[in-house]
Amino acid sequence: MSGGIGLAYKIVDFHCDVLSKMQMDHNLDFTRDPRLDVNLERMGQGGVELQCFAIYLSEKLGKPQFGYILDQIDLFRQKVVRSGLAAITTVEELDKAEKAGQPGGLLSVEGADGLEANLHYLKLCYERGVRCLGLTWNFANWAADGILEPQGGGFTPQGVELVQACHQLGIILDVSHLSVKGFWELAEVAEEAGKPFIASHSNAYRVCPHARNLRDDQIREIIALDGRIGITFVPWFVKKAPVVTSSDILPHLEHICSLGGERSIMFGSDFDGIESHIEDLRHVGQYANLAELLLRHYPEDLVKGWLSGNVLSFLRTWLPQTK
């Protein structure tokens, strides 16, 4: 496929693991290194105007430490921002980058483990530009249980304090790896506080029954809160098959829409966090393939919302207006 149609539309991708990959290999160059699914050159090819960069601490590092989070923030500044991306922390910066036609980068932390149960570290992350927090990875940490933790618990008392601190600071919470019990505990707090949350990279469980995907009642809750759901390109979250193509994403979109979520959909590829890929979505430069596919099946206004509009409206509501 040609990229012509796709490049006519701005795209936001809400999850990649480039920073973790660069932390493990300092020789990687963000500008155009082909070993990275997300790099500056490929963002341009795919029309990606905003990329959310997750700070994920590899298990290869050993015990999670705050210093490792700071290392990835430094990598973001030194390798990503210096390559030409605008660091996005406010609505003002988002608007400025969009007006200038400059791609932007947003920071999130995937898993609270490295915060070491220290809310001062959370504040330091916010001051250094972090605007989203995925509360867990797959397993239990000091704050809550992850979705693959056998005991299936919810939040610890410290985790409840973490949620409250995020709400006070203005950090957007992400439930993509959170246990089901934790999801509903957070939903109760979110409803009371009027603070929606996101699932940055999760699909529909009804379409593909993987533990990391969202059940229908969870999808409805995110919709009711006016949160966002990032359809992800992890092949085994899309379809249980030897070969997965972009067309296999469509049933997830249609199912979420059937639950009333057409304005809640965004994309969160998980590029650089996966070693196998959807056949025709192997890096962000191929987002144009997805754009063309969507435009063949759905109205233009819906497609524009899924590619960027839905998540940009969310960010314009929940990012701080100015520094």
pLDDT score of 129 more than 70:
yes
Predicted pLDDT of residue 7: 56
Q: How many CB atoms lie within 10 A of CB 192?
A: 8
pLDDT score of 294 more than 50:
yes
Helices 250-258 & 287-297, crossing angle to 10 degrees? 50
Longest Cα separation, the chain: 52
pLDDT score of 1 more than 90:
no
Separation in Å, CA 53 to CA 107, 117, 125, 301: 5, 22, 14, 27
Instruction: Give mean pLDDT, residues 85-111.
Output: 98
Mean per-residue pLDDT of the chain: 96
307 pLDDT band (50/70/90 cuts)?
very high
Q: Which residue has the tokens 């490049």?
A: 7
5 pLDDT band (50/70/90 cuts)?
very low
Predicted pLDDT of residue 318: 98
Instruction: Give mean pLDDT, residues 206-221.
Output: 98
Q: Please, what sign has the CA dihedral across residues 161, 167, 171, 176? A: positive
Percent of the chain with pLDDT over 70: 98
Helix (H, G, I), strand (E, B), or coil: what is residue 33?
A: coil
Closest CA to 303 of 312, 292, 315, 295: 295
For the stretch 212-224, what's the b/e string if a residue is b when 16 or more beta carbons lie within 10 angstroms of its beta carbon? bbbeeebbbbbbe
Q: Which amino acid is at 111?
A: G
Which token pair is 75? Answer: 């990598």
pLDDT score of 236 more than 60:
yes
Q: How many CA atoms lie within 13 A of 169 on its CB side?
A: 25
pLDDT score of 323 more than 80:
no
pLDDT score of 41 more than 90:
yes
- Is the CB of residue 197 less than 8 Å from the CB of residue 222? yes
Predicted pLDDT of residue 2: 33
Predicted pLDDT of residue 9: 85
* pLDDT digit string, tens, across residues 43-77: 999 999 999 999 999 999 999 999 999 999 999 99
pTM, full prediction:
0.96
For the stretch 147-185, what's the b/e string if a residue is b when 16 or more beta carbons lie within 10 angstroms of its beta carbon? bebeeebbbbebbbebbebbbebebbbbbbbbbbbbbeb
* pLDDT digit string, tens, across residues 153-207: 999 999 999 999 999 999 999 999 999 999 999 999 999 999 999 999 999 999 9
Closest CA to 7 of 269, 281, 249, 285: 285
Instruction: Give mean pLDDT, residues 273-284.
Output: 97
- Is the CB of residue 172 less than 8 Å from the CB of residue 198? yes
Which element (helix H / strand E) includes 105? strand 104-110
Instruction: Give mean pLDDT, residues 246-266.
Output: 98
Closest CA to 64 of 167, 136, 152, 8: 136
- Is the CB of residue 18 less than 8 Å from the CB of residue 12? no
Main-chain dihedrals φ then ψ at residue 50, nearest 5 degrees: -150, 130
Q: Which amino acid is at 254?
A: E
136 pLDDT band (50/70/90 cuts)?
very high
